[in-house]
């Protein structure tokens, strides 16, 4: 059961990163909801960094816009992966 919850949190986190990381950085807050319409978490963007909290307000990770891609960090501050934007 715990691995299913972790998978769901990681999927939610990845979805929030893709949706909440704008091309131009600005300060904003965006709420996210699960498939049943219940509140799932919040993404707060300020400058090049977006932080994510779950429905209980606990920090779950962050995304930092590095110009040509986005670096993802877990709740402990460890680098988890990078999403690179294709060159145009």
**Which tens digit of pLDDT belongs to each residue from 10-69?**
666 666 666 655 544 457 999 999 899 999 999 999 888 999 999 999 999 999 988 888
Q: Is this model's pTM higher than 0.95 or not? A: no
Q: Look at residue 1 and tell me whether its pLDDT is greater than 60.
A: no
**Residue 56 pLDDT:** 93
Around Cβ 55, how many Cβ atoms within 10 Å? 15
Task: Give me the pLDDT at residue 40, please.
Answer: 92
Q: Which residue has the higher pLDDT, 75 or 27?
A: 75
């Amino acid at each position: 059961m715990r691995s299913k919850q972790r998978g769901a949190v990681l999927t939610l986190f990845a979805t929030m990163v893709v949706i909440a990381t704008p091309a131009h950085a600005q300060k904003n807050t965006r709420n996210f909801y699960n498939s049943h319409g219940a509140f799932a978490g919040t993404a707060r963007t300020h400058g090049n960094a977006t932080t994510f909290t779950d429905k209980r307000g606990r920090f779950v990770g962050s995304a930092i816009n590095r110009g040509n891609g986005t670096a993802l960090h877990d709740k402990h501050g460890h680098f988890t992966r990078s999403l690179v934007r294709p060159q145009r």
